[in-house]
Every structure is written in C-alpha cells, then in structure tokens.
C-alpha cells in the first residue's frame, strides 16, 4: 500500500492548456506516443507536430527525444490525452519573431517546401517567402531551393491571421548597399581598375567596379569618334577603366576607357613625317582656318593662308566639314599636340592657258593689283622649263 501511494503521488496533474515536457516513446507514420509522466501516454497527431505540411511524423521529431507539448484535450474516462507540439512552437515563435522584426535581425531558415508563388520555411510558425523577395534578380525556377538555408528578415507579421511574410532580398539589398558605400569611399580619382560592362545606353556604358556602377560617357569610350557605345563594348565585357571622378553623396562615378589606352598623339612621330602628303577629313572650320583629322583623334591646323592658292575671305568658301582633303605636313609638335598643315602645298601645280581675246582691262586690272604673270605662274613655268 505504501509503494502504491508513493507512485500515485508522483503522477502529474494536468489540465487542458498546460505546457508539459515529454519524451517521444514511439513514432508511427501519422502519430507519436509521448510520455509526460502521466498515468498513460499522450498522443501526438501528425497535424499537431509542425506548422508546415509534413508527410510523416518522423520528418519532424525523433523517438527518444524530449520536447515541450501543449495539452489540447484530456479525457481520463477514455484515457485519451491529446498533445500538440505545433501549438507550443507557434506561441513561442510569434513572440520571438516580433522581437526580431522590431530589431531588424537576420534569421536563418531552411526551405521546407516550394509552392506556387514562393517558398515555405518553418520558424515555429509557417513562414512564406514570396518569389519576388527571394533574390535580387529574377529566378525562373525554384525547384532546387528546397533544403537551402536562407537569410531572412521579417517584413510582415500578423499573429491573428497566422501570416508571416519574410524576405531574403531585403538582407541582400542591405548588404549590397553597405558594400556600395564602402566601395565609393575606397575609389580614388586617377586609379585604373577592372570592371564589367553591365548595361549600355545611348549616352554611354555602365560598368560594375566592385559592387557599384560607374558611367563611361560615350566620349570616354575611345579616342576615335563613337556613334553608339555598342560599337565599342557589349554587356558582360571585362574592361579596364580609369576613375575620373567620385561623388559619394550622389553615388556617382565617372570612368574612362580611352584614358587607359595609348593616346593618339603618342604614335604621331611614328606614323607621320614632316613634308609628307596625306589624306585627312575636315573636322571643324574656324575663322582663321580648318582643323583636319590626319589620324584617328589627331587633328592639325590648316591656316587660312594655306587653304587655297587664291585669296579667300573665309575657309567656308572652299571647304566644308566632313570633306576629304589632301594636306602636306609642314610641322609636327607632338609634345604640345600641334600639327601645321597645308592644302595649298599639297595641290599639284597646273598651268592654265589664257583664253584667247582676254580683255585688256583684265590684264590691266592684274597689274593694278600688283600681280604679274610671273607671280601667278612662276613656279609652273620654271617646272616646265
């Protein structure tokens, strides 16, 4: 009798809603038996094991392990004790998750399932990660995400409606922004670095230089004239760029590709010689002459006095932009990036016969202007002689 009374005093007293600790004594496919120290074992149905869908009880608990359970129904007459692990996990999880949301903490969770529209994770409650909040880039197929560990932030929590929305993209965005700020502070004007062309626009190319994009303006792509950036680079290209300017406050970086390439004037002395006649293109007309491109990016000046053998008031009288002309190189000063050119000296001298019956007044007019036949045709006559 004394032994029986002792055993009876050790039997726990429980009520519906109590939280108890018990050891799993047997795991079946759809339920488990749990010893909580009561006069008979409790039953843990598969629906009360986890807050996410599981195929069998063994997917979430193990025999011989101890867990906390909530008593959700007790009937001594029928010796039925129904327990729930899910309820305990859920109540604790809501409190914990609310604190993490308020503090902006990062949570690690394993993807339990891939469903339409996103991913499901078990955080004591069912958490949902929408497809648009998984990565910073578009993901077409999530089939291989099951079992992956994600780093998440709580962005929406509604205990009453059992709603928990999570985002890994928020974590990745914060990390990218932090790296961007650090990179902006590291970059120094004048340094040459490598980057990857991210995208092209009509006005230039954006290049990733370590987590932050910089702009290579179309004028900085090449020493030669570029109509569109796609003529020089394409997305995905690895390129060398020179940092021209960094504006951390406005998060802007100006870059140059052409500054990493040999300048056009560096090869002038190798490719051009004084006295040589070459073909060039008229790039600009000014009041005192014309600038002619003789090599890509290299322009020389044809002074107005060297444009034509006859007197002209403006270069526009005989030249137009884009016109191809033959020029003679008079002088080269590569150090100061100057070349003197002559169109007049490059022309082949020609002797023109005077029309018969030339009017005397035209001849007299020439004399009146102080111009003689010798002045006009001396070189040609000497050549013929």
Together in a domain, 274 and 337: yes
Together in a domain, 127 and 140: yes
Number of Cβ within 10 Å of residue 331's Cβ equals 12
Together in a domain, 342 and 268: yes
Q: pLDDT category, 349, cuts 50, 70, 90? A: low
The burial class, CB within 10 Å (0-12 / 13-18 / 19+), for 67 is buried
pLDDT > 90? residue 71: yes
Considering the chain, what is the average pLDDT of its residues?
87
Residues 6+ apart with CB under 8 A from 209: 183, 187, 193, 194, 195, 241, 243, 253, 255
Strands 42-45 and 31-35, bridge-based pairing: antiparallel
Domains in the chain: how many in total? Answer: 4
Contact between residue 344 and residue 309 where contact means Cβ atoms under 8 Å apart: yes
Contact between residue 228 and residue 245 where contact means Cβ atoms under 8 Å apart: no
Average pLDDT for residues 16-27, to the nearest whole number?
94
pLDDT > 80? residue 378: no
Together in a domain, 293 and 242: no
Is 135 domain-assigned?
yes
**Considering 260, 292, 319, which residue would you say is the last residue of a domain?**
260
Is 276 domain-assigned?
yes
Together in a domain, 251 and 301: no
What range does the domain containing 290 cover?
A: 264-346
Model pLDDT, residue 267: 82
Chain segment 270-279, per-residue pLDDT in tens:
899 999 999 9
Average pLDDT for residues 321-344, to the nearest whole number?
94
CATH number, position 269: 2.40.50.140
């Amino acid at each position: 009798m004394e032994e029986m009374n002792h055993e009876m005093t050790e039997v726990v007293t429980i009520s519906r809603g109590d939280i108890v600790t018990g050891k799993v004594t047997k795991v079946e496919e759809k339920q488990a038996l749990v010893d909580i120290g009561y006069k008979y074992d409790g039953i843990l149905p598969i629906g009360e094991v986890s807050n996410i869908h599981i195929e069998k009880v063994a997917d979430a608990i193990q025999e011989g392990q101890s867990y906390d359970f909530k008593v959700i129904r007790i009937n001594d007459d029928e010796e039925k004790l129904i327990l729930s692990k899910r309820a305990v996990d859920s109540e604790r999880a809501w409190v914990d998750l609310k604190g993490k949301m308020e503090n902006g903490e990062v949570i690690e969770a394993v993807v339990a399932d891939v469903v339409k529209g996103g991913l499901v994770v078990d955080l004591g409650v069912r958490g949902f990660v929408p497809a648009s909040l998984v990565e910073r880039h578009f993901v077409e197929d999530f089939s291989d995400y099951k079992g992956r560990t994600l780093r998440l932030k709580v962005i929406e929590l509604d205990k009453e409606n059992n709603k928990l929305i999570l985002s890994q993209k928020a974590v990745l965005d914060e990390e990218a922004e932090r790296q961007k700020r650090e990179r902006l502070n590291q970059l120094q004007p004048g340094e040459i670095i490598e980057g990857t062309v991210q995208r092209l626009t009509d006005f230039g190319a954006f290049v990733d230089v370590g987590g932050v994009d910089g702009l290579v303006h179309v004028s900085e792509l090449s020493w030669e004239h570029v109509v569109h950036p796609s003529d020089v680079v394409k997305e995905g290209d690895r390129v060398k760029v020179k940092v021209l300017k960094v504006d951390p406050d406005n998060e802007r970086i100006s870059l140059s590709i052409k500054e990493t390439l040999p300048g056009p004037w560096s090869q002038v002395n190798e490719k051009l010689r004084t006295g040589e006649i070459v073909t060039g293109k008229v790039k600009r007309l000014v009041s005192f002459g014309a600038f002619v491109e003789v090599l890509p990016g290299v322009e020389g000046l044809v002074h107005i006095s060297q444009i034509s053998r006859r007197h002209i008031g403006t270069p526009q009288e005989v030249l137009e932009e884009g016109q191809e002309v033959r020029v003679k190189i008079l002088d080269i000063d590569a150090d100061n990036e100057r070349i003197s050119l002559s169109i007049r000296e490059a022309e082949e001298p020609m002797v023109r016969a005077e029309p018969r019956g030339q009017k005397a007044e035209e001849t007299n007019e020439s004399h009146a202007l102080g111009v003689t036949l010798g002045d006009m045709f001396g070189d040609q006559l000497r050549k013929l002689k």
